[in-house]
Homo-oligomer: A and B are copies of this chain.
Amino acid sequence: MNFITFTESNLRDFTFNVFKKMGCSDEHATLATDVLIRSDLRGIDSHGVARLSGYVRLWEKKRINATPNIKIVHETPTTATVDGDAGLGLVVAPFAMKIAIEKAEKYGSGWVSVKNSNHFGIAGYHALLAVEQDMIGISMTNASPLVAPTYSSERLLGTNPMCYAFPAGKYPPVIVDMATAAAANGKLEIAQRANKAIPDGWVQDKSGDSSTNPNELKSGGSLLPLGSDKDHGSHKGYGLSATVDILSAVLSGANYGPWVPPFVAFLEPSANPVGEGLGHFLGAMRVDGFRPKEDFKNHLDNWVERFKNANTIDPDKKVIIPGEPEHAFEQERKVSGIPIIDVVVQDLNDLAKKLGIDGLA
- Tell me the A residues contacting B by CB distance below 8 Å: 74-81, 107-109, 111, 113, 136, 149-154, 156, 164, 166, 174, 176, 178-180, 182-183, 199, 201-202, 204, 207-208, 226-228, 231-233, 235-240, 242-243, 245-247, 250-253, 256-258, 274-275, 285-287, 289-291, 295-296, 299-300, 302-303, 306-307, 310-314, 317-320, 322
B residues in contact with A318, CB < 8 Å: 151
Inter-subunit contact B150/A320 (CB<8 Å): yes
The 28 sampled A-B contact pairs (Cβ below 8 Å) are A74-B290, A77-B77, A78-B78, A78-B109, A79-B286, A79-B289, A81-B290, A108-B111, A109-B111, A113-B290, A136-B247, A149-B307, A149-B310, A151-B314, A153-B312, A166-B250, A176-B240, A178-B233, A178-B235, A182-B233, A183-B232, A201-B231, A207-B313, A208-B313, A235-B322, A240-B240, A257-B306, A258-B306
> CA separation between A88 and B272, bound complex, in Å?
50
Closest residue of chain B to A259, judged by CB? B306
Give which listed residue, B236, B313, B317, contacts A178 with CB less than 8 A. Answer: B236
Closest residue of chain B to A178, judged by CB? B236
Closest-CB distance, A112 to chain B (whole angstroms): 9
B residues in contact with A201, CB < 8 Å: 231-232
Inter-subunit contact B154/A310 (CB<8 Å): yes
> CA separation between A239 and B123, bound complex, in Å?
15
Inter-subunit contact A274/B290 (CB<8 Å): no
Inter-subunit contact A174/B242 (CB<8 Å): yes
Inter-subunit contact B319/A150 (CB<8 Å): yes
Inter-subunit contact B289/A78 (CB<8 Å): yes
Inter-subunit contact A76/B286 (CB<8 Å): yes
Inter-subunit contact A251/B156 (CB<8 Å): no
Can you list the 6 inter-chain pairs with the closest CB atoms, starting with the nearest? A208-B313, A76-B108, A79-B289, A176-B239, A79-B108, A78-B108
Closest-CB distance, A188 to chain B (whole angstroms): 13
Inter-subunit contact B302/A274 (CB<8 Å): yes
> CA separation between A226 and B152, bound complex, in Å?
20
Give which listed residue, B226, B258, B311, contacts A227 with CB less than 8 A. Answer: B226
Closest-CB distance, A186 to chain B (whole angstroms): 13
> CA separation between A79 and B107, bound complex, in Å?
8
